[in-house]
Amino acid sequence: TYDTQRHNFSNRLTVNSQLLGGEVPCRQNSITLQTVYAFQAKPKYKNGEFAYRNSQNSRQQIKRCLMNNLEIVNPDTNSEYFSRFRGMRLRRERLDIFINTKEGEEVGAHLIVLSACYPAFGKYLSGNDVVHVHLSRFPHQVVNAAVEYAYGGIENISPEVALRLYLLAHNLQNKALVDECTKFLCASVGETNMSEIWSAANATKNEVLIGV
């Protein structure tokens, strides 16, 4: 009968009201438990914003991956001769150039290796004496990274060091290292280092970094 149907509908509405924490849905029919859970699980933003946030999260993950796994490899140092020079440098054998850094510390290397990587050192090849060079604008960590690149590559570099290494690579005239540092800086730019990166980009007229 009509009264019986109305009574059953009222009971279903009461149950659904309890499921919703006392809030009665506006629709004039019963809402199943699955529908209630689905309603409660909906995101608080629209599909477009959801897709944007997913895309943004993916970009951030890529940036973190690049920063945590940075390895700049010098493709011109694959021969066994460079491997021998790397061993000699570790043992500090026959070092004939010492670079004085901002802290007053020295970074030792082989002049022939640095000259092969950085044209700026070529002018010292004509002499026979041990060479001493001053790069007092750059910290020890940055200068050492530049020397490591000449011997094969750099591992585990921070954005701060990469930015200063980018400037040093410009001074030492190595375009390949400039390009590698540019890639890393593009991936690591953020609120904390944005102004410094843009300043360096403007000073070196790097359109790639300026456009980040």
Sequential pLDDT tens for the chain (212 residues): 545 544 454 554 444 444 444 444 444 443 333 433 333 444 444 555 544 455 455 445 544 544 455 677 777 767 777 789 999 999 999 999 999 999 999 999 999 999 999 999 999 998 889 999 999 999 999 999 999 999 998 888 899 999 999 999 999 999 999 999 999 999 988 888 999 999 999 999 999 998 87
User: What 3-state DSSP class applies to 117?
Assistant: helix
Nearest residue to 96 via CA among 114, 115, 110, 117: 110
Contact 173, 120 (CB under 8 A): yes
Bridge partners of 131, per DSSP, are 97
Contact 157, 165 (CB under 8 A): yes
Give the span between the Cα atoms of 124 and 23, in whole angstroms: 84
Look at residue 122 in the predicted model and tell me its pLDDT: 94
Domains of the chain in sequence order: 1-42 (no CATH), 65-210 (3.30.710.10)
Contact 164, 138 (CB under 8 A): yes
User: What 3-state DSSP class applies to 107?
Assistant: strand
pTM of the model: 0.66
Complete DSSP assignment for 68-85:
HT-EEE-TT--SHHHHHH
